Structure 1
Amino acid sequence: MFSLHQRIRNLAPSRVITWVLVWIFALHAASLYLFTRGFLLQRLALSNKATCSTSGPCSLPPTHSKAILLIIDSLRFDFIAPTSFHHPDEHHHGILTLPAELTAQNPDRSFIFNAHSDPPTATLQRIKGITTGSLPTFVEMGSNFGASEINEDSLIHQLTAAGKRVAFMGDETWTGIYPSSFHPNMTWPYDSFNVEDLHSVDEGVIRHLFPLVRDGGWDFAIGHFLGVDHVGHRVGPSGGAMRTKLKQMDSVLRRLTEEIDDDTLLIVLGDHGMDLKGDHGGDGIFETSSAMWIYSKSIPLATLPRPQDALPILDSSANDPDAERSDVAWKTFPGATSPSRAIQQIDIVPTISLLLGLPIPFNNLGMVIPEVFLRQSPSNKFVLDEAMQLNVDQVQAYLAAYRESPSGGELDEAWNRLNRLHGLAKTPTASLQQKRNFIRQSLRSCRELWAQFNVVLMVAGLVALGLTVPVVWSVYRAIDRQPSWDAVSEDVLNRGMVGAAVGGALGLVVKVAGRSLTGQFTPLQATLLGAVFASELSVLSSTSSTAIFTLPRNFFRRHTALPVLILILHAVSFTSNSFLMWEDRLMPYFLFTLLFTSIVISAPTAPTHRLRIRIFGFSIVTAILIRLIAVSTVCREEQQPYCSVTFYSSSTTPIAPYLTMFGAPIAAFALPYAVHHIFLATSRADEAPVSRLFLRIWKWLLLGATTYWILERLENWNGLNPDRIPLVQTIRTYLARGVLGCIIAVLGAFWWYSPLSILVEQQAQPEGEQGGKKRVVVIGFANAYGSSYLLFLLVPFALMFATAQPTGQVVLALGLMAISSYLEVVDSESDADGLVEAFTSAAVTSSATQLQVSYQKPTFAVPAFLSTLSILLFYSTGHQATMPSIQWKSAFIGFPTLTYPFAPLLVILNTFGPIAITALAAPLFALWNIDPPKPNAPTSPDGPTESASRSPSNLVLSRTLKLTLGTSLYHSALTFGTAFGAAALRRHLMVWKVFAPRFMLGGASLLIVDIALVFGVGVGVSRVVWKVEKTFGAGRAKQQ
């Protein structure tokens, strides 16, 4: 322990701050891990397989010996709907018409359905659904980019177990989850994530599909087209390319229906739909409404002239008061003039299985589609009776097995009701309605039970996360109360690390020795829980942490009480789904409130005219910039019809408006000018050669980033010669690579090795002084710390700018201007408060011309402003706390195909860049306009101010520590609020639509903020302090 304490004392001051921030990050990460293990549960996948070895029938006689399953990715129901629309879209309505034509001609052999795809509507989860008949869980969305083999029973397993030869071509996701199920000589996978390529996968499927159909040698063929999905992501469903792609699909289906033989069943479906912008992943009606078409070329599947005549007995809405919106027999698609037949997408699993004479997969929860079984059996019964009974038996077997599993207790609440419904459904005289009620109620119960939670883990994680708030607050307050901030930091780091080590060991011992006490925890979870609690309590029990129980001096001044009040309101409001839905609209009001005090209190009371003008003027400019930022928005489904999309050109096209296509290059050109001639000019740091050269390079990199999107728009321009498209794509790809590479390698290295942003000149002494000898003048000296850190901040900002779409680039530029403008407000207020304090402390010389002015300590208003602005920037750069708002096309900036690890990193930069850049700006407020130390400078007693005479490693680092702790504290409280809201309202109707996504955003944002703060202090601040000390010889020029 002594050795650890000594090592901490030997660390450079900036390293101590860095390790304190790393310790806070570890607390947050461990707490979030514990909470999410209890909140975001995955369902238990049983390994049981359905077989025909048991007594009684397991399937029906097959109607077809072969089948073709074609998945047209993102094929929304209205793309093939037989109904008309009030306002048809010429780009996707009435184009793929073959299914509707054949259904009208052959109602006994052709069937169209509006199939409900269970969210999350991502390809991997939907493939699992249409092969196993099971349901996904919310957290499984994250696995869409990392498919693992499916070991549970499935249609594919049943085919291979029956000796069927399965062929596959298309989306390679299938070979990831079924790596050994397809015939090796009839498997042709293609890259599925290259959204830039609209045709290669589809052409590859076509190239192999028709020879396969002609040559035979297969029993079941799967083809997965991707073009419709990629067109949706690129230009949306209302783009011209969508019409072309749907025409191609219609042509493929017409040719296929001609070439297949009479013994081949054809199933065409979309794995999910797409929203009005062409994206998917959520649970909106456009995303969950997928198309399904079943076609038998010559063998009738329904002997009734009008199969729908028998459907009322299966209409859940007519007889089941608990029926869900998605479980109705008829549904009217938005904008349609009449309702269409609706089913669950997983209903295809038992339907195909029985039509091919296979057992229904064991984990299936779907129900056979009635229409295709409405015919006479040899025993003069409708085949539907037999099919439904097999379906009932299969579902009951699954429920019984699940009941016996380790997760079986989840069924306790619903078990009695399910048993009663099964008792009614298994009798020889049971009606189709009773059988349907049992199957659908089983599905409904499982949907609910897979939202079950491990309450013990949730509470443990929630308490651990909640304790980080008083822990960080106690350190934040201790810096003000104790005379030496570095002693406080060293004590906190020592206590935190020792407590974590002891607590982790104790937690593991208790887990191993007392399993009955820790049965809810794994060894890792027990260790983490012990480490986190012991570390937090150790810091809270220290003498320095007694500050948590007392309010700061002058707490009710404008810059302390008001930000804390806003934080409390913001955190508490996460228990309201209405607030969460409209959070993006409320952030500007929080920011305006923070600025209001500067305008009405600080500006009028400033002691000089110049300070009054600066505070008032920059406050107004900041407010205007915030209002402009708030103009950009994307809309949640719940915000309609009171929201209009401005981030994109319209709600149906995921491309930037023409205004921002012109505005982005202007912003890229004007932003360096503003930084150079406005913000650096106040301290004359703009005259330094380093600043000028750096900003020139920065400007051209920003212009290159905007040019990338201009080339993308050119690529989709109808007037462009198609032969030129590959050239434009190549130029665009290498331009993005060049920009990203230069930002990291050139701009980053330039800042790292460049000197400070100062200019040293020799000037002649005024006449009569020292014989006219020359004197050395350091231009930019007064802001040597701040100007250098500002250039550092511009490097990660350029990365965020390069990964943002055009509207996002304009918003980020406005955001940087808002940060810089508010920086001048805070700096001017600090000067004003320092002058007032100097006057009131009677520090006036006899001549009344010199004042001893001290630097004011940073207030909590700065972290509050930056944290709130980060949330506003997140929303205004085209994001929402929803899955569909993720801008997946950013994964391909600089890469024509999905390339690891760059793709996820680019998406992370695009999504969380606004949050990271505001966190990185926190140290800028600590360093701005702080003079390097001067020899023989006067000192002032410790108090609410900081003397300019203190060494850089004390003055700027103490300010940096306080502001970074405040930023982490603000986001900690918000994340705790989202976690508490999600946990307390886990049975709320909107938990998976509103509360859970906001918690996930809050948790990810908190970790991003922590990482950004560690990077900003460990790299930016440390290097700046080292440069200053090396240049001016203050203390040891030791790399911090």
Structure 2
Amino acid sequence: MTLSLATRAFSLFVYLLLLDGVAIFFFTRGFLLTRSELSAFSNCSDVSGISSCSVKTFECLSQECKMNDNKEEKSASGPIIQKQDTPHMDEVADSGTASPSDHKVEKSNGQCWTRPTIKKAIVLIVDALRFDFVAHSRNFRGDPKPWMDKLPVLQRLVAEDNSTARIFKFLADPPTTTLQRLKGLTTGGLPTFIDIGHSFGAPAIVEDNLLLQLQRTGKRVVMMGDDTWLQLFPTQFSKAYPFPSFNVKDLHTVDDGVIRELFPALHRDDWDVLIGHFLGVDHVGHTFDVESPRMGEKLRQYNDVIERVVTLLRNMSEPGGLHEDTLLIVMGDHGQTLDGDHGGGTPEEVETALFALSMNRRSGGCLSKALVSSCDVEDPVIGCISSIPQLDFSATLATFLGVPFPFGSVGQVNAELFDLVARDPEPSPMDLPGDSDSSLCTLRMLERYKEILCINSWQVRRYFEAYTAVAITGLPKQDLERLETLYSTAHALHETHLCNGCHLSSVTDVEVEATITRRMIDEIKERVEAYRAYLSAAASLARSQWTQFGIEWMVIGLLLLPASIAVRAVALYRLAQNVQERWEVGLLPVKPLLVNSIGSSYPVVMLLVLHPLFHGTPFYSALMYIQKNVSSVILSVTIAASVVAYMTASPRSFSGKKFRFWTGGSRKSRKFPTVKQVDPRSVVAALFVILHALSLFSNSYIVAEGAVINFLMASSGMIYLRYAIKARSKIFQALCYLGFIWILPRVHSLALFKGLKAVEGSGFFSSALNSANSSKMLLLQLVLTITTVGFPLVALTWLIRWKLSKSQLSVGRLWRSVQTGTAVSYLLITVYWVMMDLSSSGLVSVPDVVMRFVRLDIPRTIYFITCAVISAATAREIHNWRVLGSKCTCAAELLLRSGTVIVAGFSGSLMILMGRRGPLMLMLVAVEVWCFLELQSLTSCGKSRELTSPDKGRKQPERIVPSFGPSADWGLIASQVFFSTGHSCDFNGLHFSAAFVGFDEFGFYQQGILLAVETFGASHMLPIFGLPILVLWGLRLTRSSARADDKDVVLQVTKGYLWFSLVQAIITTITTASVCIQRRHLMVWRIFAPKFVFDSVGLLLVDVLVILATSSFFFFSEQKQHSS
């Protein structure tokens, strides 16, 4: 049975989805791989054999050194790495499995690689803590912002005399989402980009980490707060008090739970490490923004909590007290933008703060003076604020608690934090009687810090060696050689110093002693800096080479994506020859595709069956690789063969007939009709697409992609204006089109909407109304709401009804149902925002029952109306197809009607998800689209909008690209809408609060659907279902003549969808090539990889939506068969 054009068009789009999906799958398999996670774990006994890091100076001094061994055992800092001082730990096996939760517990007697410097650690995490929340406003330019100076207790504690508190800038590595940051903080590694996909479903960490080491050495860890901790570490806590974390509208449940459990725990001695994770600041940012008054309230609450905690700890920190040797850490896991978003790598997102307070008032405090540290902020009151990479947190805290470093840690022990908590040890035999107290302190602390860095460097070197041995490609040889050179240099200096130190015991001249001490300090500083140079280089290498790229899979993906472009181009060329029946069949030559695809897999199968015969040959390793990845290899070969078959299929294979011109006749008769007329507008559109694509090779242009789109649209608008002036028609529409191109990107940043998010009212209204009395305040509140919500909805309704009243689509029960449903949705949206504004402003006391109905039931009602309208339209068309048959409407009318119904019915749900800007934004988009559609008559190929030539038997001249220009501009409009609605190709552009419109509880699927609809609804869903309106705009629908043109309607709409998806495929292919070329670029994970993810998802979504849109082809294609 011969397939109809509609069926072949639908099948073609399914094939393109398969082709794009396989290409993106293979590329992501090679590019977005996680690093190799090693199954090795650090043990206390590991350092027993590295005696080179021990204090050999003590061994070669007088007998007094040996007498001080017991004193050194009591020292509050320094390593324990001498074999005689580190007995092998008895291991108690809880289980024979190798999972982290079942690892053996080691009896460390409170010490392991290093002697503990603290007994207890309290880690209070403030999620999304910006650096300027903690640092004083005097350190920033301009006037103080509303969110600054709300944590004065931290500033006051650091400014105290003889303070043992410090503030640091805490630098996170992107991606800056909570799960990835917690993983990085506890493992000491760099979670790779692909881990972003686990943000809503955290898998348990299986590699070595700080909490596992604490558990194995008998430390008790108590957690309270964000339940993400329990997902990452399900068995590592002795006690846990998790609270649900994904409801961003809930500002207090998690924080109140932490406060409720925190203070009783501080009085108990059943823990060694206490973790409290507050979420209020993060949720305020997502729900409102940083400038909201709610942010100030939440920060002041934290200030009170911290002050109470410090007071309690100080009251219990007397000698012999419970918290005599307790360290308090208050830190953020990441920052946030002013809009409350995070996930990317901007300074606002990666810069957070760390505050450390040691309860031990006998700390040394002399190490920082000897070592030069970076000063990021010079505060006139508290002094220098330096930075600490989050990569260093795990190794540093492990040192303080006396547990092994996690095996995969690549951070270094921070000198300033170590100086804050480490006591000045008792005098050693190295001390010379003429030394000053300051010099002695510096000498002893430097010596011990050098010894810790020695162990630290050995551990990092050990990890790199193990990683290189296990990973397929390992690390670059030249980089490893450079690291090994740095390590050898540092270790040689270390050994030289120890040897020279053996001759100092004979020094008795007091005048020389001070000079010798200073020389020793300089020498030890040189060794310390050498180790720090090695560790810094190792961390830099990890950041640049962490991911193990699968080049072979990336190449396959890069080859298949251009192949999908070529398939679209060939399909468009064949559709251009639409009067020849063989080219219609050639839209999807089923027989060649099936034969080549199935046949191509046989050689692979035979090679696998016969691979033992190739043993010992150069091909055997390749065959074993194919056997290991057999499913992927067969899939890629099959897809590639189908592409070759599609590209090379001849007209003979399309119809199975021998055409006369193909087998004989003159050479001229064998040529296909050449088309020489070219649409200038399409040429300009092609140039714009090329410019846009080439700009994606630059990270700066990717960041400014919204501005690039606006520039290209403005250029296109100027061309339309030129056409309008030349034709003396549609000048008003051209000017309006240019005006809306300028206005639309600026709506998101209007001061009227400052502080408004998708689920709540605004602090803007509160500040604007404070100066008026209550009655005027209420009136102004209503006026503002009606202006920003009611008026756009009324205008949008009027625009739709006014335009459609001129066509036959505005009659019938279906359209009346659509009008009613849309009007009800718009009315509910207005009621929703009126009530939300009144409640948030405090002008009217709204009962909780009413507000619950407004928050939950109104959005759900709007969702239901959307589903009902779309379902009714679908059921109506199915009814027409099954019952009425040939009496149904024509194809053009059906496509226009279905597109209009979906766009109108879907608009209500989209507006409620887009928040306060939704109604105004969609109204402006609708007017801009109307102007654009009106301008198409200026650049149409002919003066008539008839779809076929009156002379059916003769090929009429037509342009090469009759619909490329409008389709490319349609894609630019879609991209502009994406960026104008506050989105970006970065994860901080996701509006997570939209996922909770109408819901209080977190559900993975329902929240995922709402977030996807809000992100891609206006920029992908509406343009796809509205594309037939563009293609058929201005067509005069008459039932008498239009039914004969169903085939041509399918042809034109298929062309439109092919052109639109072709532009998306070109952009995605260039993005993929760019990210492949720039895979070692400094900004690859910060800029290029997120852009690749968004473009890839966008292309697949376009393919899926086109399939759904073209499914309506079956209605009138089957009707045509019925009628015939």
TM-score range, shorter chain: 0.7 to 0.9
What amino acid is aligned across from residue 819 of structure 2 in structure 1? Answer: L
Larger displacement relative to structure 2 (335-344 or 362-371):
335-344
1:785 and 1:930 in contact (8 A); partners too: no
- Structure 1: how far apart are the matches of 2:382 and 2:679? 61
Closer/same/farther in 2, CA of residues 1035 and 657 from structure 1, 3 Å limit = farther
Match of 1:199? 252
Task: Name the counterpart of 2:1070.
Answer: 977
The question of whether the paired residues in 1 share the 8 Å contact of 2:789 and 2:833 is answered with: no
1:111 aligns with 2:215: no
Change (3 A) 1:389 1:300: farther
Question: Which of the pair has more CA radius of gyration?
Answer: 2
Question: For the Cα contact (< 8 Å) 2:724–2:938, is it kept in 1?
Answer: no
| CA distance 1:81–1:830, shift in 2 (3 Å) | closer
8 Å Cα contact 1:669/1:699 also seen in 2 = no
Tell me which of 865, 874, 897 is aligned to 1:742: 865
Match of 1:377 among 425, 433, 443: 425
Asked if the contact 1:19/1:493 (under 8 Å) is kept, the reply is no
Letter in 2 for 1:410: L
CA shift for structure 1 position 150: 0.5
Give the 3 Å change call, closer, same or farther, for CA 99–590 of structure 1 in structure 2. closer
Specify the code of the residue in structure 2 equivalent to 1:352. Answer: L
Give the letter aligned to residue 1099 of structure 2: L
C-alpha deviation, 1:161, in angstroms? 0.3
Q: Is the 8 A contact 1:97 1:250 kept in 2?
A: yes
User: Percent identity of the aligned residues?
Assistant: 27
Which amino acid in the other structure matches residue 255 of structure 2? Answer: D
Could you tell me the TM-score, scaled by structure 2's length? 0.77
Partner of 2:125: 71
Cα distance per residue 1:377-421 (max 9 Å; x no partner)? 357432322322221222121112112122463242311110011
- CA separation in 2, counterparts of 1:559 and 1:881? 29
Distance 1:249 1:127 in 2: 21
1:961 aligns with 2:1054: yes
Query: What corresponds to 2:452 in structure 1?
Result: 387
In 1, the alpha carbon distance for the partners of 2:879 and 2:418 equals 80
Paired position in structure 1 for 2:513: none
Residue in 2 that maps onto 1:950: 1044
8 Å CA contact 1:577–1:994 kept in 2: the answer is yes
Tell me what 2:899 maps to.
Answer: 789
2:820 paired with 1:696: yes
1:994 aligned to 1084, 1087, 1111, which one?
A: 1087
- Give yes or no for the alignment of 1:309 onto 2:309: no
Task: Return the alpha-carbon distance in structure 2 between the equivalents of residues 748 and 506 of structure 1.
Answer: 48
Instruction: Give the alignment partner of residue 15 of structure 2, picking from 13, 20, 23.
Output: 23
Within 1, Cα distance between the matches of 2:957 and 2:456? 83
In structure 1, the residue corresponding to 2:475 is in which secondary structure? helix
Post-superposition offset of 1:832:
4.9
Supply the distance in 2 between the matched residues of 1:960 and 1:884 (Cα, whole angstroms).
36
Pair 40,496 (structure 1): closer, same or farther in 2 beyond 3 Å: same
Q: What is the aligned partner in structure 2 of residue 421 from structure 1?
A: 486
Check 1:668–1:595 CA distance in 2 against 1; reply closer, same or farther (3 A cut). same
Q: Tell me, in whole angstroms, the C-alpha distance in 2 between the residues paired with 1:522 and 1:661.
A: 61
Which of the residues 888, 897, 902 maps onto 2:992?
888
Q: Which amino acid aligns with 2:304?
A: S
Q: Secondary structure at the match of 2:1101?
A: helix
Classify 1:1004/1:552 alpha carbon distance in 2 versus 1 (closer, same or farther; 3 Å).
farther
- Please give the alpha-carbon distance, in whole angstroms, between the structure 1 residues aligned to 2:811 and 2:176: 55
2:346 aligned partner, one-letter code:
G
Matches of 1:804 and 1:51 in 2, distance apart? 52
Aligned-residue offset at 1:697: 1.7
Matched, 1:468 2:564: yes
Give how far 1:579 is off: 3.0
Alignment-derived partner of residue 321 in structure 1:
none
Q: Which residue of 1 aligns with 2:793?
A: 668
Post-superposition offset of 1:727:
4.6
- 1:1009 counterpart = 2:1102: yes
Supply the distance in 2 between the matched residues of 1:225 and 1:1037 (Cα, whole angstroms).
68
5+ residue gaps, structure 1: 1-5, 316-328, 606-611, 635-643, 759-776, 844-851, 938-947
Please, which of 663, 680, 695 is the counterpart of residue 573 of structure 1?
A: 695
Compared CA separation, residues 431 and 1013, structure 1 to 2 (3 A)? same
Per-residue CA shift, 1:649-702, capped at 9, x if unaligned?
699x99698779833332222212211112x13325435454344223212213
How far did 1:125 drift? 0.7
Matches within 5 A, 1:741-780: 741-744=864-867, 746-754=868-876
Residue 124 of structure 1 and its aligned partner are, at CA, apart by: 0.4
**What SS does structure 1 have at the residue aligned with 2:267?**
helix
SS at match of 2:166: strand
* 1:895 to 1:417, Cα distance in 2 relative to 1, 3 A: same
CA pair 672-396 structure 1, distance change in 2 beyond 3 A: same
Are residues 731 and 580 of structure 1, via their aligned partners in 2, closer, same or farther at CA, if it must alter by over 3 Å? same
Q: Distance in 2 between matches of 1:83 and 1:618?
A: 49
Q: Indicate yes or no: 2:954 matched with 1:868.
A: no
What is aligned with 1:275? Answer: 337
Alignment of 1:577-726 (within 5 A): 577-594=699-716, 598-601=720-723, 604=726, 613=729, 616=731, 618-632=733-747, 648=754, 662-678=787-803, 680-705=804-829, 707-717=831-841, 719=843, 724=847
Paired letter, 1:421: L
Partner residue of 1:356 out of 389, 393, 401: 401
Cα 1:857–1:628 change in 2 (3 A) is same
Between the aligned partners of 2:598 and 2:27, the Cα distance in structure 1 is 21
Which residue type is aligned with residue 635 of structure 2? L
Matches of 1:411 and 1:449 in 2, distance apart?
8
Aligned pair count reads: 946
> Structure 1, residues 225-278: CA drift from partner, whole Å, max 9, x if none?
111111122222222112211121122122222334223322221111122222
Greater mean deviation of Cα atoms: 492-501 or 469-478: 492-501
The CA deviation at 1:13 is 4.8
**Distance across 2 between alignment mates of 1:756 and 1:157:** 60
Gapped regions of structure 2 (runs ≥ 5): 50-80, 82-111, 314-322, 429-443, 498-525, 612-618, 655-670, 766-783, 881-886
User: Where does residue 96 of structure 1 map in the other structure?
Assistant: 151
Alpha-carbon separation, structure 2, partners of 1:1003 and 1:437: 40
- Cα distance in 2 between the residues matched to 1:51 and 1:654: 54
Aligned position for 1:817: 927
For structure 1, which segment, 529-538 or 435-444, has the greater mean C-alpha deviation from structure 2 after superposition? 529-538
Tell me the distance in 1 between the aligned counterparts of 2:917 and 2:1026: 22
Give the aligned partner of residue 762 of structure 1: none
1:328-347 equivalence runs, <5 A:
329-332=374-377, 339-347=384-392
2-structure distance, mates of 1:182, 1:629: 51
Distance apart, 1:879 and its partner CA: 1.0
Whole-angstrom distance in 2 between the partners of 1:334 and 1:719: 42
How many Å separate the matches in 1 of 2:927 and 2:957?
28
Larger CA deviation: 62-71 vs 197-206: 62-71
Where 2:122 maps in the other structure, the secondary structure is strand
Contact 2:825 2:862 in 1 (8 A): yes
Q: Residue 493 and residue 712 in structure 1: after superposition, are their counterparts in 2 closer, same or farther (change >3 A)?
A: farther
CA contact (8 A) 1:540 1:546 kept: no
Which secondary structure state, in structure 1, belongs to the residue aligned with residue 622 of structure 2? coil
Alignment match, 2:509? none
The structure-2 alpha-carbon separation of the partners of 1:931 and 1:238, relative to structure 1 and needing over 3 Å to count, comes to: closer
Query: Residue 919 of structure 1 aligns to which amino acid in structure 2?
Result: I
Distance of 1:88 and 1:627 partners within structure 2: 30
More displaced stretch, 778-787 vs 818-827: 778-787
Task: Say if 2:744 and 2:921, in contact at 8 Å, map to a contact too.
Answer: yes
